Amino acid sequence: MRDTNRWTRCARGHRHWGSLGAAGLLLVRRTPSDVELLLQHRADWVHHGGTWSVPGGAIHTGETPWQAALREVAEETDLDLSAADEVARHVDDHGGWSYTTIVATVHVPVDLARVTIGEQQDLAWLDPATVDTLSLHPGFGDSWPIVRTLLTAG
């Protein structure tokens, strides 16, 4: 049910998408020397277009942040990450509205060749040092220093 797909204001006066909050999924895979993160380069036509972030969006009535994050990944990329395992999460609470970034791993290859381009212009595996240099979605950028520390979880 998409009854929460609308703008709302938090206690800080900021405008946010999703009247019950929002959630996104940061997929992590281990490499021999470090980790790589699956990020989307947001399409120019979406809010904060041209920036990098995690696939995510509004939490719908009756959904947990985990369920919302998995649904949003499927909607935005056509990837089925239902086999992913949550290893950590960060809740950015704005007072009356929050964004939950869920860090997860998956034990099967993720085929980006079949990704549907919709709300993003690109989807890529990036190392944390590269993420540090990107133009990030403002909300993700504010959370990134904390989320980055969660990459060693699990």
Summarize pLDDT for 80-98 with one digit per residue, the tens.
888 899 999 999 888 887 8
Q: Tens digits of per-residue pLDDT, 16-40?
A: 666 667 899 999 998 888 899 999 9
Task: Look up residue 123 and give its two tokens.
Answer: 């989807």
Tell me the residue ranges of DSSP E strands in 31-137. 35-42, 52-53, 56-58, 85-93, 98-105, 120-126
Mean pLDDT of the chain: 85
**Region 120-135 average pLDDT:** 91
What pLDDT does residue 16 have?
Answer: 63
| Residue owning tokens 């509205």 | 97
Residue 95 to residue 46: CA distance in whole angstroms: 25
Q: Is the pLDDT of residue 154 over 60?
A: no
> So what's the pLDDT on residue 57?
87
42 touches 141 (CB < 8 A): no
pTM score: 0.86
Rounded mean pLDDT, 128-138: 95
Beta-bridge partner residues of 107: none
> Could you give the percent of the chain with pLDDT greater than 90?
43
pLDDT confidence of residue 63:
94
Name the CATH superfamily for 7-152. Answer: Nucleoside Triphosphate Pyrophosphohydrolase (3.90.79.10)
